[in-house]
Structure 1
């Protein structure tokens, strides 16, 4: 899904997830532990995972 900031993408994605759709956030996937193969170090990854 793509759109302008504040257009309601996350709100729609959460609503769809509540009825069984799978919600995948690229930022969450990129910073998850363990990191994707090929990603050795991402600046700020520790802070992203702590939140």
Structure 2
């Protein structure tokens, strides 16, 4: 598992995103040709008291 975001001891929820068999830990979570990984760059804004991982 790779940690993408952690609010530390204040976390209320753990989010673990699992890619498909041919998926990529980072590439699966961004738009083609884009650099924004929504799990790391956007989701923490909506769920700030969390820990987010990709597997």
For normalisation by structure 1, the TM-score amounts to 0.26
* Greater C-alpha radius of gyration: 1
For normalisation by structure 2, the TM-score amounts to 0.25
- Kindly indicate which of the two structures has a greater share of residues assigned to strand: 2
- Kindly indicate which of the two structures has a greater share of residues assigned to helix: 1
Larger relative contact order (Cα-Cα within 8 Å, sequence gap ≥ 6): 2
